Amino acid sequence: MRETDLYPSIKSFLERQGYEVKAEVKSCDVVARKSGAPLLVVELKLGFTLQLIYQAVDRLAITEHVYVAIAKPKRGLPREAVKLCRRLGLGLILIGTLGGIQVLAEPVAYAPRQSARRKQKLVKEFNARSGDPNLGGSGGTKLMTAYKQDALRCLSHLQAQGPTKLAALRQATKVERAAGIMRDNYYGWFQNTSRGVYELTAEGVKAVAIFMEHISALK
C-alpha cells in the first residue's frame, strides 16, 4: 500500500459530507472546503509517525481543523496515539483495507481534566520519600520508593535488635505501615517467628549489605 492509496477513501468520505476536495495543495495532502464550514486539512501517512504529527501541527497555522489519516493498523492503535492527537487538537482517522473510515478523534480544542486521585498519590509519594535517592531518567530500573524506604527502616531495626514485637518496631522506626509491610513481605526480608514478633530472613540479612548506603542515608 502507498499513501496515495488512502486518498480515494478520504476524498469520498469528505465529499459525502458536502465538501469539495483537492489533493496536494501548497504542501497539504488533502484540502477540503464547504460553504459555511471551516477550511479542512488532512495529512496522510501509512503509519502513525512523529513526522506526521510535525506536519499536522504545522498545518494548524493554516486552520484549526486538521486531521491525520493513517492505514488501520493490524494490531490496533495505541491509546496514547489517540490521547496525543486530542491533546494537540488534531483529528484522527483510520482507513481500512476496504476503504472503511473510522474517526477516532475530532479536531477540537483540548480541555484537559486533571485527575485529583493521581495528583494526590504523586504528592503523597513525593512528601513521604526521604531525600532524592533516584536518578532522573531511570525508567525500567528498580527505583527507591517511600514504601521501600520504610521497609529498609524496619530492616535496619530488626538487624540491630533481633526479633522484635510489631508494636515496638512501629514505635522505634516511626513507620506507621509497619504491620502491612510485615504482613505483605513484598521483598521477602521478614518472617513471623511468634505471635506479633518478626525477624529477618536470609534474604533480609543479604539486603542489609546490599542497601547499606541507603540505610545510612535514612539514619
For residue 89, the enclosing domain spans 3-105
Q: What is the pLDDT of residue 187?
A: 96
Q: Are 147 and 195 found together in one domain?
A: yes
Q: What is the pLDDT of residue 112?
A: 64
Residue 71 lies in a domain: yes
Q: Are 91 and 181 found together in one domain?
A: no
Q: What is the pLDDT of residue 219?
A: 79
Q: Is the overall model pTM greater than 0.75, yes or no?
A: no
Q: Are 71 and 159 found together in one domain?
A: no
Q: Within 10 Å of residue 217's Cβ, how many Cβ atoms?
A: 14
Q: Are 66 and 151 found together in one domain?
A: no
Contacts 24+ apart (CB under 8 A), 49-54: 53/84, 53/88, 53/90
Residue 23 lies in a domain: yes
Asked if residue 26 has pLDDT above 80, the reply is yes
Residue 120 lies in a domain: no
Residue 115 lies in a domain: no
Residue 121 lies in a domain: no
**Average pLDDT for residues 189-208, to the nearest whole number?**
95
Average per-residue pLDDT for the chain: 91
Residue 119 lies in a domain: no
Alpha helices in 34-177 (DSSP H): 50-59, 79-88, 116-128, 146-161, 166-173
Q: Are 20 and 87 found together in one domain?
A: yes
What pLDDT band is residue 142 in, cutting at 50, 70 and 90? confident
Distance of CA 104 to the CA centre of its chain: 19
Q: Are 142 and 199 found together in one domain?
A: yes
The Cα–Cα gap between 62 and 191 comes to 66
The Cα–Cα gap between 207 and 142 comes to 14
Residue 130 lies in a domain: no
Question: In CATH, what number is assigned to the domain containing residue 93?
Answer: 3.40.1350.60
* pLDDT tens sequence across 167-183: 999 999 999 999 999 99
Q: Are 166 and 87 found together in one domain?
A: no
Q: What is the pLDDT of residue 44?
A: 94
Asked if residue 134 has pLDDT above 80, the reply is yes
Q: Are 157 and 85 found together in one domain?
A: no
- The domain tally of the chain equals 2
Helix (H, G, I), strand (E, B) or coil at 63: coil
End residue of a domain, out of 56, 84, 105 = 105
Question: In CATH, what number is assigned to the domain containing residue 150?
Answer: 1.10.10.10
Q: Are 98 and 166 found together in one domain?
A: no
Contacts of 39 (CB under 8 A, 6+ apart): 31, 32, 33, 62, 63, 65
Residue 126 lies in a domain: no
**Average pLDDT for residues 187-196, to the nearest whole number?**
94
Helix (H, G, I), strand (E, B) or coil at 64: coil
Q: What is the pLDDT of residue 111?
A: 66
What pLDDT band is residue 113 in, cutting at 50, 70 and 90? confident
Q: Are 74 and 152 found together in one domain?
A: no
